[in-house]
Amino acid sequence: MTVVIPPVFLAIDMFNLSHFRMILIPALWSGLWAGMLLTVVQSIQVIPTLLQAEVYEEQAAAISVHSHSSSKGAQTHQHEAESWQPQNGWERTAYTAAANISLAVGFALLLGAASNLRGGIGHWRNGLLWGLAGYTIFFVAPSLGLPPEVPGTEAANLKDRQLWWLMAVIDTAIGLWLLFFSKTRLNKLLGSLLLISPHLIGAPQPDVHGSAAPAELANTFIVATATANAVFWLALGSLMGLFSRKNQVIKK
């Protein structure tokens, strides 16, 4: 009887403890610096635009609550809107930095694991290419259907958007892998089809499009977010290459 070993166990065998250590340390350092860089870029470009949009959102909410002041549901909505959130300034920046660093470490581990299947990231230039792939997978592809939105923008059902985002990420990741690493034309064709399949299906859209913020501000936010993510991913990939190489040199 032939025993079929599930792929997950093959992956566990491939990524043994020594491999994990080789990925973990560069991922921690890369995530730290890339997360801090992202926070700086966001503080310069993204957050000021976000704060402007929040003013429009608060004004629209205030008008809505005022016009339905006699409604108990509206009072409940206002109470929920006033729940705790970090204060603008150093507190918000600190929480943003912590979230960015945590997210960057997670993405760095993904880059390290994926690149390890192809022999690892041996140089910061190779890391740039892996970072570009990450940018395409986790930002560009989903943003083609669900672009970054400022607060106060009408949106489709959250669960539907999450499912489409996940499909776009998975299809793009597999599609790029097949397109660049597969040796057969059939697999390359399959990879190309996977790249476009989420966009052929189409992202979920709201019944009525609208935003409390002006269209110019929404467009500025999209450009700022795209720029910040590009800087983040390229930095994360190159740092993974740099720290991976240093880690290998130290062990030798």
pLDDT for 21: 77
Q: How is residue 166 written in tokens? A: 């996940």
Q: How is residue 208 written in tokens? A: 């009525």
Q: Are 141 and 198 in contact (CB under 8 A)?
A: yes
Radius of gyration, alpha carbons of the chain: 22
The identity of residue 154, as a single letter, is: E
> Could you give the CA distance from residue 159 to residue 63 in angstroms, rounded to a whole number?
28
> Could you give the CA distance from residue 14 to residue 8 in angstroms, rounded to a whole number?
10
Which is more confidently placed, 169 or 207?
Answer: 169
Question: What average pLDDT score do residues 99-114 get?
Answer: 95
Is the pLDDT at 4 greater than 70, yes or no?
Answer: no
pLDDT for 244: 87
pLDDT for 126: 92
Is the pLDDT at 68 greater than 60, yes or no?
Answer: no
> Could you give the CA distance from residue 241 to residue 234 in angstroms, rounded to a whole number?
11
> Could you give the CA distance from residue 134 to residue 235 in angstroms, rounded to a whole number?
11
pLDDT for 208: 81
Degrees, nearest 5: CA angle 225-114-245: 90
Top mean pLDDT of 63-67, 149-153, 186-190, 214-218 is at 186-190
Beta strands in the chain (DSSP E): none
Token pair 């025993």 in the structure block, residue: 3
Degrees, nearest 5: CA angle 214-216-222: 110
Q: SS3 for 154? A: coil
> Could you give the CA distance from residue 166 to residue 173 in angstroms, rounded to a whole number?
11
Mean pLDDT of the chain: 84
Is the pLDDT at 90 greater than 70, yes or no?
Answer: yes
**Structure confidence by residue, pLDDT tens digits, 110-137:** 999 999 888 888 788 999 999 999 999 9
C-alpha distances in Å from residue 58, one per residue of 5, 43, 151, 154:
55, 21, 9, 14
Is the pLDDT at 173 greater than 50, yes or no?
Answer: yes
